[in-house]
Amino acid sequence: MPTWMKVLLVLGGLLLVLVVVAVVAGFFVVRRYGPGLVEAGKQTYTEGAEYGRRTDNEGCLNEAAARQAHVEGFTDMVKNGVFMQVCLEASRPTPGFCDGVPRQMEIMKGVTWQHQQCKRYGLKIEQQCGQLFQGVQRFCEERARRGGADANVGVSPGGTAPPPPPAPRPPTAPAR
pLDDT, tens digit (0-9, with 9 covering 90-100), for 8-31: 999 999 999 999 999 999 888 788
* Total of domains in the chain: 1
Per the structure, the complete domain to which residue 49 belongs is given by 42-176
Residue 174 included in any domain: yes
Q: Is the pLDDT of residue 74 over 90?
A: no
Residue 148 included in any domain: yes
Residue 170 included in any domain: yes
Predicted confidence at residue 37, as pLDDT, reads 75
Q: Is the pLDDT of residue 169 over 60?
A: no
Average pLDDT, the chain: 84
High-pLDDT (> 90) share of the chain, %: 61
CB atoms within 10 A of CB 86: 20
Phi and psi, residue 74, nearest 5°: -65, -45
Q: Whole-structure pTM over 0.75, yes or no?
A: no
pLDDT by residue (tens digit) across 112-165?
Answer: 999 999 999 999 877 788 999 999 999 999 999 988 654 434 433 333 344 445
Residue 3 included in any domain: no
The one-letter code for the residue type at 10 is V
Residue 120 included in any domain: yes
CA distance 134 to 80: 13
Predicted confidence at residue 33, as pLDDT, reads 75
Residue 105 burial (10 A CB sphere; 0-12, 13-18, 19+) = exposed
The SS3 assignment for 127 reads helix
Predicted confidence at residue 157, as pLDDT, reads 37
Residue 88 included in any domain: yes
Residue 8 included in any domain: no
Residue 48 included in any domain: yes
